[in-house]
Amino acid sequence: MVSFEPSEDQQLIQSTVRSYAEKVLRPRLRDFERARCLPDEVMQALHEMGVTTLTIPESAGGPGLGLGTAVLAEEELAAGDAAVPYAMGGAGSLGAVVMELGTDEQKTRLLAPFCEPDAWKHRGALAFSEPRPAASPGLSTTATRTALGWRLDGKKSFVLNGGIAQATVVFAQVDQPAGWEGLGAFVIESDRPGMTAGPRMGTVGLDAAHFGELVLEGCVVPEANRLSGVEKVGHGLLRAFSRISLHSAARAVGLSRAAFDITREYCETRQAFGKPIGHFQAIAFTLADRLMDLDSARWMLWRAAARWDAGKDAGKQTAMAAAHAFEVAMRAADDAVQLHGGAGFIRDVCVEKMMRDAKTIALTAPPVAVQDALVADGELGVQHDLAAVLPTPDIQPIFT
């Protein structure tokens, strides 16, 4: 029999994170939203629980527990407050890129700092998106070889932790004629001259997370910090964005669960015409549809994570899980607002925040249209066109 049920160890992690989310995160989500960040004690607690390092390999000091465990923990965090997995410390998307593009030595050296006991403020960032398309296929940010390594020049937008991360992986054009296959990935420490932060961006949701711009002007990066573990950067980059998509999908599932639970409770207690509104067929059927949405999204997520952890190709399954989870989150949050009636759009009730967060989550990974293209390519045996499936400025820059 096929089973994706969590192991006993995974269930222990799941229950620990769920308890913290229910007792600490959910009651304070408006505080985090107003402050536009997480307080130090929450950052430290999450790091000490180990949720910031779950997928980092043992060679770098992490537990190496894989994506299956990570998505369980991130669903629980997002059920408390969907902004928390984006605002907390950890390698984040940088870790996914280093795992796919780095050498063994680079994985250990670059990821180990995130596993130190006092690294709860240590953040990683991924700078891929740009504010406008390049004149030719590829990125406008350039990397030119020098005697000291590589000189990077350009501008990056929509960067999660942009300007506050201790390490940022920046994608730049190394070989212009090669187009999207001519990219290079460079890890830049925050104290390296030539990289400056632009203003923090305002967003629709996920207010506790920091999104910003980066400007590179003559930023010189040593050769050792160019990720060089694969020959074809484009293929590795697709795998990295697939990993990122799975994390975002888990957060969407967590938000969906929270929106459903809050709405179900409201529909059981809110009275109209002498009985709970959930007893009216139209509302009952809406709740049933959202429950089926949630269950299917979670199982698709677990299936994709299980394939990753088994070392199998999971690109198509991940794209299916992400596309479905993003749409499910929007339906769950939208119906939560609708079924709360006039209270739904008032900030005294958190479902309006969930609707804004759901829309923003769907832009923290390749959006649904791109996920659909990846699924279709995989099903039809079509080779991926990088210009169509990467988050290029020509299509739609995304938060990462």
Between CA 95 and CA 388 the distance in angstroms is 24
Percent of the chain beyond pLDDT 90? 82
Q: Which residue has the higher pLDDT, 349 or 155?
A: 155
Are residues 360 and 303 located together in one domain of the fold?
yes
Residue that the structure tokens 């791109």 belong to:
370
Tell whether 399 is covered by a domain. Answer: no
pLDDT of residue 343: 75
pLDDT for the residue 137 = 86
Domain-ending residue, one of 225, 247, 276: 225
Residues 108 and 147 in one domain: no
Token representation of residue 27: 């009651």
Q: Is residue 400 part of a domain?
A: no
| Cβ proximity of 52 and 89 under 8 Å | yes
- Same domain, yes or no, for 240 and 337? yes
Structure tokens of 170? 């920046």
Q: Does residue 395 form part of some domain?
A: no
Residue 292 lies in a domain: yes
CB 244 within 8 A of CB 365: yes
Q: Do residue 348 and residue 260 come from a single domain?
A: yes
| Residue 360 DSSP class | H
For 339, the domain range is 235-389
Instruction: Report the C-alpha gap between 320 and 303 in whole angstroms.
Output: 10
User: Quick check: pTM over 0.85?
Assistant: yes
Kindly state whether residue 394 falls inside one of the protein's structural domains.
no
Handedness of CA 50, 53, 56, 61 (dihedral sign): negative
Tell me the pLDDT tens digit for each residue of 321-336. 999 999 999 999 999 9
What is the pLDDT of the chain when averaged over all its residues? Answer: 93
Both tokens assigned to 356: 């804004």
- Is the same domain home to 349 and 255? yes
Q: Do 214 and 270 belong to one domain?
A: no
- Residue 354 pLDDT exceeds 60: yes
Domain boundary among 68, 95, 115: 115
Residues 384, 255: one domain?
A: yes
CATH of the domain at 205: 2.40.110.10
pLDDT at 292: 98
Do 168 and 28 fall within a single domain? Answer: no
| 146 and 266 assigned to the same domain | no
Mean pLDDT of 138-160: 95
pLDDT at 1: 40
The answer to the question of residue 2 being in a domain is: no
Residue 125 has pLDDT above 50, yes or no: yes
Nearest of 139, 16, 130 to residue 77 by alpha carbon:
16
The answer to whether residues 325 and 356 belong to one domain is yes
Number of domains in the chain: 3
The pLDDT of 288-310, averaged and rounded, is 96
**Domain final position from 72, 94, 115:** 115
Q: Which residues pair with 183 in a beta bridge?
A: 173
Instruction: Pull the structure tokens for residue 262.
Output: 């809050």
| 207-230 burial: b if 16+ Cβ within 10 Å, else e | bbbbbbbbebeebbbeeebbbbbb
pLDDT digit string (tens) for 152-172?
999 999 999 999 999 999 999
pLDDT tens digits, one per residue of 24-49: 999 999 999 999 999 999 999 999 99
Residues in Cβ contact with 225 at an 8 Å cutoff, skipping those fewer than 6 apart: 149, 186, 187, 188
Give the three-state DSSP class for 197.
strand
* Range scoring the smallest mean pLDDT among 7-16, 90-99, 130-139, 152-161: 130-139
CATH number at residue 266: 1.20.140.10
pLDDT digits (tens, 9 = 90+) for 76-87: 999 999 999 999
Same domain, 270 and 312: yes
Q: How many CB atoms lie within 10 A of CB 84?
A: 31
Residues 248 and 355 in one domain: yes
1 within domain boundaries: no
CATH number of 36's domain? 1.10.540.10
* DSSP state letter for 396: -
Contact 321, 368 (CB under 8 A): no
pLDDT surpassing 90 at residue 269:
yes
Residue 345 lies inside a defined structural domain of this protein:
yes
